[in-house]
A and B are shown apart, each in its own frame.
Chain A
Amino acid sequence: MSPEIMQLIAWSTLDTLTMVALSGAFGTLLGLPLGIFLATSRAGELFPTPAANRILGLVVNATRSTPFIILVVAIVPLTRLIVGTSIGTRAAVVPLTIAATPFIARVVEAAIREVDQGLVEAARAFGASPLQIVQKVLLPEALPAVTLALTLTLVSLLGYSAMVGAVGGGGLGDLGIRYGYQRFMPDVMAVVVIVLIVLVQGVQTLGEWIARRFDKRSRKA
């Protein structure tokens, strides 16, 4: 492989990492509160607003069931509005974030629903407000599960980011398609796949390590 190609791979890796990191961060920023709300807003829960819960649930489901590649094309006007262009790595962050947000919301919701209701009852018995219960009970107790959920999201985003090449987003997926597939360079394709495998392994291992650090449940007396 020529040094030019090597450099291209390095840049593409950086592009992929940038897209995943940014969309992961924005997705968490939006998805975490959304997930908390979904987990606490049914009738009889901390913030009982069943109508809002149902509507947001529908929106989340609709977004999640839209194939990503269609989502990317469909929201081009929105992308242009936000970043000024619909082409390139920065533009790819918008559809990635929109795909990541409902995903994160659902996994966070599941993590929070796993928290023992007895703890919520205890906190209420001590005079905690609903916000205090979220802040001092639900989030800390759900943190290990939330961390694993975010890890899962990042891994999915690595996969999604390969598709944004179709609309001119950069990254490893784009490189693999253009050089490995369209220009018949199997060695480039092989390197791209290997780098992706290494990235997924790295993210997964790091996520699990952090989740274990947060998890105080399995320590033995």
Chain B
Amino acid sequence: MNAPLPKPAGAPVPSADPRPAPIIAFDGVSKVFPARGGSAEVVAVDSIDLVVPEGAIVGVIGRSGAGKSTLIRLVNGLEQATSGRVQVNGTEIGALDERGLRQMRRSIGMIFQHFNLLSSRTAFDNIALPLEIAGYSRSAIAGIVAPLLDMVGLADKRDRYPSELSGGQKQRVGIARALATKPKVLLSDEATSALDPETTGQILSLLKQINSELNLTILFITHEMSVVKKLADQVAVMERGRIVEQGATSELFSSPRHDTTRKFVGSVTSAEVPDWLLARLSQDYRIGKKAVLRITFTGGAAEYPVLSHIARAYGVDVNILHGQIETIADRPFGTLIISVASGPDHLAPIIEQLTAGRNHVEHLGYVA
């Protein structure tokens, strides 16, 4: 064996790219379903640019009919783009022939809302299916499937048929099956939408664990913001075939810009002003009224004791009216609605203080 050559001194060290290489890249991708029979032409995906870095978990959220199912199927060529380019690991999907596409699909796992397990096969044989398709020998298959069953916690269910498994167990089989050919990418098509909240939590934890242990890139679609909150590093919000907003999950939660995003965010953070407060809120100030502020904390700022700080610095009473603190993308994130015993004259420096850092502060009005 040759010893590895020592690196010559002074050789240029490749500069570390701060952003990891994209493993999935959409470049101006559109998908149009032609008019058929009585139905008009449908633009399911409309000029989409989206990049999924290697090792990341990226979520696409949208209502049903937004085009997210079509979008995720463009990645493994279950749908072909009408225009634009979809690249996976540097290979353009649209340029592959049938055989090349089948080969490519073995490096892209997929899990489904309704699990799509064969009812005629046991858990073991379902996981073995992609390996049989790829032509692995019986003994090689056994060596791969057993550890996968262990990993998803179903070693004792290997000879059970899907009808004997719970929804969560079925999705675990689905996940193990998707991982059988050691893919680089996992596509998740509403994988938890048919599960109850507790089981959803378990499946999401499993996906996170797989992401960090195997450095597996995950692209998922969902209509539930709570799934995005628990799973995604980055989010894209889809509406009528277009991505209307995208960014880091914590950013999107703290300062949603698009209406649709705001509605999705509101669905989990309940940062909306409660009705009882709304009824008493007015924009006119009179002596004795208190200012109502909504503070949105992002990331590390939630740990800083802003409230006691302004109470001390300005000698005002601060009262918490409504609030919720969440952990999103592993960072503390929260919304507080407070009242401050202060008139309009002194409000500006207080708001400035509260804004210090990365908080977002809105003055909602006054209450008696």
Chain B residues within 8 Å of A217, by CB = 119, 163
Q: Which among B114, B120, B133, B166 is the interface contact of A126 at CB below 8 angstroms?
A: B133
Contact of B102 with A by CB under 8 A: yes
Contact of B249 with A by CB under 8 A: no
Chain B residues within 8 Å of A124, by CB = 78, 105
Contact of B285 with A by CB under 8 A: no
- Write the chain B residue with the least CB distance to A219: B163
Contact of A67 with B by CB under 8 A: no
- State in angstroms the CA–CA spacing of A219 and B162 once bound together: 9
Judge whether A127 and B130 touch: CB under 8 Å.
Answer: yes
CB distance from A186 to the nearest CB of B (A): 49
Q: Which among A121, A136, A221 is the interface contact of B164 at CB below 8 angstroms?
A: A221
Judge whether A127 and B161 touch: CB under 8 Å.
Answer: no
Q: Which interface residue of A119, A132, A214, A217 has the most chain B CB atoms within 10 A?
A: A119
- State in angstroms the CA–CA spacing of A167 and B124 once bound together: 54
Q: Chain B, 216-245, contact with A by CB distance < 8 Å: what is the 0/1 string?
A: 000000000000000000000000000000
Contact of B207 with A by CB under 8 A: no
CB distance from A59 to the nearest CB of B (A): 26
Contact of A15 with B by CB under 8 A: no
Taking A219-B161, A219-B164 as contacts, is the C-beta distance between A129 and B102 under 8 angstroms? yes
Contact of B129 with A by CB under 8 A: yes
CB distance from A104 to the nearest CB of B (A): 21
Chain A residues within 8 Å of B162, by CB = 216
Judge whether A118 and B161 touch: CB under 8 Å.
Answer: no
Count how many chain A residues have C-beta atoms less than 8 Å from C-beta atoms of the other chain: 25
Chain A residues within 8 Å of B133, by CB = 123, 126-129, 132, 136
The stretch of A4-12, A71-79, A92-100, A137-145 that contacts the partner chain:
A137-145
Chain B residues within 8 Å of A214, by CB = 120
Judge whether B118 and A119 touch: CB under 8 Å.
Answer: yes
- Write the chain A residue with the least CB distance to B163: A219
- State in angstroms the CA–CA spacing of A221 and B161 once bound together: 9
- State in angstroms the CA–CA spacing of A113 and B363 once bound together: 60
CB distance from B221 to the nearest CB of A (A): 14
Chain A residues within 8 Å of B177, by CB = 126
- Write the chain B residue with the least CB distance to A133: B133
Chain B residues within 8 Å of A143, by CB = 120
- State in angstroms the CA–CA spacing of A122 and B118 once bound together: 10
CB distance from A129 to the nearest CB of B (A): 6
Contact of A2 with B by CB under 8 A: no
Judge whether A136 and B106 touch: CB under 8 Å.
Answer: no
- State in angstroms the CA–CA spacing of A126 and B109 once bound together: 7
- State in angstroms the CA–CA spacing of A56 and B102 once bound together: 30
- State in angstroms the CA–CA spacing of A220 and B161 once bound together: 9
CB distance from A1 to the nearest CB of B (A): 49
Contact of B208 with A by CB under 8 A: no
Q: Chain A, 139-164, contact with B by CB distance < 8 Å: what is the 0/1 string?
A: 01101000000000000000000000
Residues 44-68 of A at the B interface (beta carbon under 8 Å): none
Residues 106-129 of B at the A interface (beta carbon under 8 Å): 106, 108, 110, 112, 114, 116, 118-121, 129
Chain B residues within 8 Å of A126, by CB = 105-106, 110, 129-130, 133, 177, 181
CB distance from B215 to the nearest CB of A (A): 21
CB distance from A116 to the nearest CB of B (A): 7
Contact of A218 with B by CB under 8 A: yes
Taking A216-B163, A220-B164 as contacts, is the C-beta distance between A127 and B121 under 8 angstroms? no
Chain A residues within 8 Å of B129, by CB = 123, 126, 136
Residues 202-221 of A at the B interface (beta carbon under 8 Å): 214, 216-221
- Write the chain B residue with the least CB distance to A142: B120
- Write the chain A residue with the least CB distance to B105: A127
Residues 144-196 of B at the A interface (beta carbon under 8 Å): 161-166, 177, 181, 187
Contact of B261 with A by CB under 8 A: no
Contact of B76 with A by CB under 8 A: yes
Contact of A70 with B by CB under 8 A: no
Contact of A125 with B by CB under 8 A: yes
- State in angstroms the CA–CA spacing of A143 and B119 once bound together: 11
- State in angstroms the CA–CA spacing of A121 and B163 once bound together: 20
Beyond known contacts A127-B102, A127-B105, A216-B161: 11 more, CB 8 A cutoff: A125-B108, A127-B134, A128-B102, A128-B133, A129-B102, A136-B132, A141-B119, A216-B163, A217-B119, A217-B163, A219-B161
23 contacts between A and B (CB under 8 A): A121-B78, A121-B116, A122-B112, A122-B116, A123-B129, A123-B133, A126-B110, A126-B130, A129-B102, A136-B132, A136-B133, A137-B118, A140-B121, A141-B118, A143-B120, A214-B120, A216-B120, A216-B121, A216-B161, A219-B164, A220-B163, A221-B164, A221-B166
